[in-house]
Amino acid sequence: MAVVEQTASADHPPDGIGELDQVTVVESERVSPLVRLLLKPAATALMAAVVVFVFFSLAGSAFGTLAGIANWLAPSAEIGTVAACVALLMIGGEFDLSAGIAIGTTGVTMALLATHFHWPVPAAMLGALVVAVVIGLTNGTLVVTTGLPSFIVTLAMFFSLQGLNVGVSTWLSGNVVVFGVNNAAGFAIPHTLFGSTISIGSAQLQISVLWWIVVTLVASWILLRTRYGNWIQCIGGNVLAARATGIPIGRTKIALFIATSCAAWLVGMETALRLGSAQANEGLGLELQFVVAAVVGGCLLFGGHGSIIGTALGALVFGMIQLGITYARWPAQMYLLFLGIMLFLAVLTNTLVRRRLLRGT
């Protein structure tokens, strides 16, 4: 970051967008507050959340009630927990297409350890955590050492895990669903911590929503308030500058991949403990929704810029649409149509509007 600032002040007519960004920050008194809000990476996601909430509240009667809100916060939490880490990874300039299926992998690992090998549930969860760390470590190390695009490396991991999940669970338990986690030893406490629901009035709020908020706050704090956040943005924005300033690029990237797998582990545990069983295909297809939530939340596809709060709002929008479609009595699959349109509009707004606004200031 120091390098960027120096060049910006040295040759005074700045022409890059990143430098323009800094100018707008410095000369903030001349920029109208509305423009400044719109320039924030999370602005589009915030508007989307408001529009979608108002739309479905008017369309479906139960959508805006306390019970309705608790309902759509559950799928939001599933997407949002992992998306928070995927967003950090994307800001660092990398992808993880294996983050969705890793939910299934960790769930199946935990369930098999608990039911087939009769480990107590907390130990089985630790075993699954080790698997998650290994997945992240493998992804990260391969990306850093081979220099291949993370899209390819994690796509390979995605297919491998998809095959292994079903292969191993059918081999050991004879089924693609591993049942009986709820009868394993030591199920009660982990279930309360990760898989229970909290009664708020008449509504049943899943505890995963709290975990989602915690993960989002931690990730946002790291990005905005620690030097690691600066490292991540610098690596994603300009690898050469990051290397020149002595940032440990390899280690940071590997840590981000591990964090993403661990977030997938958290969701895997939540799901398996709530249902008392683990499905081999859990999380399949979510990998792209994480990317979409992050992009809608203002993350650039190729790194350098983004917002964790925006990503959380993106996940919120998807939870709302997913449940709102059901409340409006449309076929559930129409959710994906909304997702597609939403993605396109959000990215268009994010890039085009910001480009135009920056030119205007």
Binding region for other proteins (CB under 8 A): 142, 146-149, 151-153, 155-167, 170-171, 288, 291-292, 295, 301-302, 330-331, 333-341, 343-344, 347-348, 351-352
Q: Is 206 in contact with 274 (CB distance < 8 Å)?
A: yes
List Cα–Cα distances, 35 to 18, 131, 355, in angstroms: 17, 46, 12
CB of residue 194 vs other proteins: minimum separation in angstroms?
27
Strand partners, 206: 197
Residue carrying structure tokens 């970051």: 1
HSE at residue 164, side-chain half, CA atoms within 13 A, is 18
Please state, in angstroms and rounded to a whole number, the distance separating the CA atoms of residues 286 and 219: 20
Please state, in angstroms and rounded to a whole number, the distance separating the CA atoms of residues 361 and 33: 12
Closest CA to 156 of 170, 177, 135, 175: 135
Who contacts 13 (Cβ-Cβ below 8 Å, separation ≥6)?
A: none
Please state, in angstroms and rounded to a whole number, the distance separating the CA atoms of residues 100 and 161: 10
Residue type, 343: L
